Amino acid sequence: MEAPTNPSADGYGSGAAAAAGGQGGGWFGHGTAGARGPQSPGHPTAGRSAPQPTRPAARRPTATPPPTTATAAAASAGASVPSATELLQRTMAEIEPIADRVTSYFYALLFLRHPALRDLFPAAMDAQRDRLFKALLTAATHADDPVTLTTYLTHLGRGHRKYGTLPEHYPAVGEALIGALARHAPETWGPRTEAAWVGAYTTISQIMIDAATEDEQRAPAWWQAEVVAHVMRTKDVAIVTVRPDGPYPFLAGQYTTLETPWWPRVWRHYSFASAPRSDGLLSFHVKAVPAGWVSNALVHRARTGDVIRLGPPAGSMTVDHTSDSGLLCLGGGTGIAPIKALVEDVAQHGRRRSVDVFYGARRNNGLYDIDTMLRLQQSHPWLSVRPVVDDGPVGLLSGGIPQAVREFGPWHAHDAYLSGPPGMVRSSLDTLVGIGIPTHRIRHDSIEELVGATTRVLSNTPGSRERRPCAPPARAVTANTWSSSAWAPRSARIASTPTRSSTG
């Protein structure tokens, strides 16, 4: 299933996803030319070793600017001096109404000053602009939560390996970021605000570089995978099964990113539709959505023998096998894919713990995998599967998943798993909290987790709205005292540090 949680034509599209700006696209689309051989995934012999990032040195502390006269006067008068986090959040609040303009200007400034970086991105920059703004929002609103922020950025840094992102790319991005904010946040911008953003971005980039450097020692940047089966389940839903060209360890409930040979540098998230198999095959449920380049290619164009590329696995919507708690699983549309994987995972571990699945769609014909789920129910007495439709025939639960969940239970002692389109996940989350399930026992991989929602965050979900490519700005902006060399992560500035070869 396609993990960017975009509503499909029938409202029940993708399921699990990672947080904004994550592995499905992030800021970069692919590596520099020649960094890994041919870029098209249609060449099984293409090199896949990640570029060799320089080994980062110890992270340097961010310098705090001396207090200005106004700040000192305010402090002496007992006035409250805003923290760095508050300054970041004030900037985000100011630019939120003009997010499109700010992010368009950011990329225009980046490409104007560093034109060689344009080749790192997809041809169409529509989704990139959404991802950047959401990534900034995440960083700003969680700057004072190092655990959440580090978890998010670690996944982000690892995922960027497949694009060939290098440490020396980060200063250019930071320079453009500060330039865009300085231009579009005049009410909140000033020396202290700029210093707060410089410090935040330095920390963000260093965490990502550290994560990528560590990950290169144990896994390739990406995998080639041959399509070995392609089964149409409806006119716009296909189950695609692939064979990776090497070991691909993952956990049931996780997701990955896919790139097709027809749309180079365009990656999309999809959840694994089964628990790990002995034959090493991986299956995905894909729904072709309007203007969905990757989804339409996988559903209507891919055939047996085609070769695609896989990014690394990610996500935390996994089963805690140390617990005896029952599982409450809510899956809408192709969101049933990771739910099915979780059921298989419980079965493989051989522990008899109750699993209740609510499988939803707008109409009866949207329950394309109900036969598979009912067969699993027949094989496992601890499993209960309840099909739910918004408006359907007599004999099926109707009114949507949240309403159906309220009719059963109690669920307060269960671990809950949500997968589906954003509207279903949000309404189901509200329902589960309302009926007494603690938020720390509700798991789903989506953007809301990082951007201010109640549940814990473990991955990233880019947006996918189509927009026009951005145009260059009328003039360049000088970001006050911003200097690429002065603030760059240490690993980007120590050119003499030896690099280690990737094992991939």
Amino acid at 423: G
pLDDT at 125 over 90: no
Angle between helices 126-141 and 191-215 (to 10 degrees): 110
Dihedral in degrees, nearest 10, Cα atoms 326, 332, 338, 341? 60
Contact 138, 153 (CB under 8 A): no
CB 20 within 8 A of CB 450: yes
pLDDT tens sequence across 341-386? 999 999 999 878 899 999 999 888 889 999 999 999 999 999 999 9
Calpha distance 264→411 (Å, rounded): 45
What residues form DSSP beta bridges with 241?
229, 283
Whether residue 465 is predicted with pLDDT greater than 50 in this model: the reply is no
- Report whether pLDDT(116) > 60: yes
The per-residue pLDDT for 140 is 67
Contact present, 84 and 143 (Cβ < 8 Å) = yes
Instruction: Give pLDDT, residue 378.
Output: 96
For 196-281, where are the E strands, in sequence order? 223-232, 237-244, 255-259, 267-271
Cis? peptide before 41, omega within 30° of 0: no
pLDDT surpassing 60 at residue 388: yes
Dist. CA 357–CA 249, nearest whole Å:
26
pLDDT at 271: 96
Please say if the pLDDT value at position 78 is more than 90.
no
Identify whether the C-beta of residue 333 lies closer than 8 Å to the C-beta of residue 15: yes
Name the least confident of 33-47, 271-285, 439-453: 33-47
Sheet order of strands, 223-232 included? 267-271, 255-259, 307-310, 223-232, 237-244, 282-287
If we measure between CA atoms, which residue out of 323, 229, 329 comes closest to residue 284? Answer: 229
Q: Is the dihedral of CA 441, 446, 449, 454 positive or negative?
A: negative
pLDDT of residue 395: 58
How confident is the model at residue 337, as a pLDDT? 97
Task: Give the whole-angstrom CA distance, residue 301 versus residue 303.
Answer: 6
The CA–CA distances, whole Å, from 444 to 165, 317, 339 equal 28, 6, 11
In sequence order, the 6+-apart residues with CB closer than 8 A to the CB of 127 are: 25, 462, 463, 464, 465
What's the pLDDT at 132? Answer: 61
The answer, as to whether pTM is greater than 0.75, is no
pLDDT at 212: 92
Distance set, CA 387 to CA 133, 236, 390, 396 (Å) = 37, 20, 10, 6
pLDDT higher than threshold 70 for residue 336: yes
- Mean pLDDT, the chain, rounded, equals 75
**Which of 324, 338, 327 shows the shortest CA–CA distance to 442?**
327
The per-residue pLDDT for range 225-251, each reduced to its tens digit, is 999 999 999 999 999 999 999 999 999
Q: How confident is the model at residue 163 (pLDDT cuts 50, 70, 90)?
A: confident
What is the pLDDT confidence band of residue 147, given thresholds at 50, 70 and 90? confident
Q: Please determine, for residue 64, whether its predicted confidence score (pLDDT) is greater than 50.
A: no
183 and 124 Cβ atoms separated by less than 8 Å: no
Q: Between 58 and 396, where is the model more confident? A: 396
Q: Which residue has the higher pLDDT, 120 or 202?
A: 202
- What are 418's strand-pairing partners? 330
> Tell me: the pLDDT tens digits for 245-268?
999 999 999 999 999 999 988 889
Could you tell me the two tokens for 487? 């603030």
Predicted local confidence at residue 80, as pLDDT: 81
User: Does residue 42 carry a pLDDT above 70?
Assistant: no
For the chain, state the CA radius of gyration.
Answer: 23
Strand order in the sheet with 442-443: 397-398, 383-389, 355-361, 327-332, 415-419, 442-443
Give the helix/strand (H/E) hosting 443: strand 442-443
Query: For position 367, what pLDDT does the model report?
Result: 93
